[in-house]
Structure 1
């Protein structure tokens, strides 16, 4: 069994089948792009891998754990320790600085104090944001906001990195920079990367595509 494995996964809302997903197996460190129209199940698959959603049928395995068999607190612990999630809308805390946003994410992962501060500054410097540490999100460009969201997603060094339409708000030049940062960050972490998109341009940057 690979690092990530889906078997016979069906998601229902009430009696209605919302999504039936193909079986999927990914090796540790593999990078894959999910593509398909709206409603095909891309975000649902990411939510299943993040432990935010439990399948109605089937199994979702990550790092040897069947997420469907975990209780809510166990899934919370799994998510804090092993998952980095880059949401399409960033979800930055507007009243906090760039540094504080990353520290909030580290705190949820149980990393605090000097260790957290040093790690947050390190990842922000790597992403070219060392001059923005004291700025609030409203003072940042869209591309900078996305880099803060990426820093927050990876500062705790997850083994699984999930990204939902990460280039949706960016023009092509900024999208290219963001995608390269995401891919190289995953490589640096040796993390498995699963990215959802409907943009054919993004698809060409990945060695493996899964159509939903």
Structure 2
């Protein structure tokens, strides 16, 4: 396993890191460093992965258990969604940090004449747009997970209903955190490059809040 060390608050030995292959302690150390990556976008994708993992657990504790037969269908649906997201979340965590590293590389491009300045500007903008699209994908997947959680909270194994609540909170955090990263990146781009990204982000946030609220309410109802 590749190891990292903090040197004056910055990362040493961080070359092409795959955050999912690290120990939890190493990842948290990387997150705590003053290095630009990993940051909030990567943390949001990791949170999404944990939400998907918890969803898989609750689904598995529901499917095939006679007492929770009414929840089998929704658990099977939730499990399919969660397995797909669990697989993708780890890649998004890496893609997020890689995309911002690319932005930082573009800022180091030469700018000694007008042509170089123009090439550098276009490269920065293109990389920044990509750095916005990666967390947008994280937010979309988190929304997909949130869509299956209210029913799982209502019909899944009651002994694990609190875990559905935690999954919902983590997925909600993933949406909000990822969209913060979308917003901060598009804020520096010309409107013609951004298109409807800001509108799409706000709609995604609004819909996610409703789903998360429904999940938490169903959890609280079953907890009594």
Q: Taking structure 1 as the reference length, what is the TM-score of the superposition?
A: 0.25
Greater share of strand: 1
Which structure has the larger Rg? 2
Greater share of helix: 2
Of structures 1 and 2, the one scoring higher in RCO (CA 8 A, sep 6+) is 1
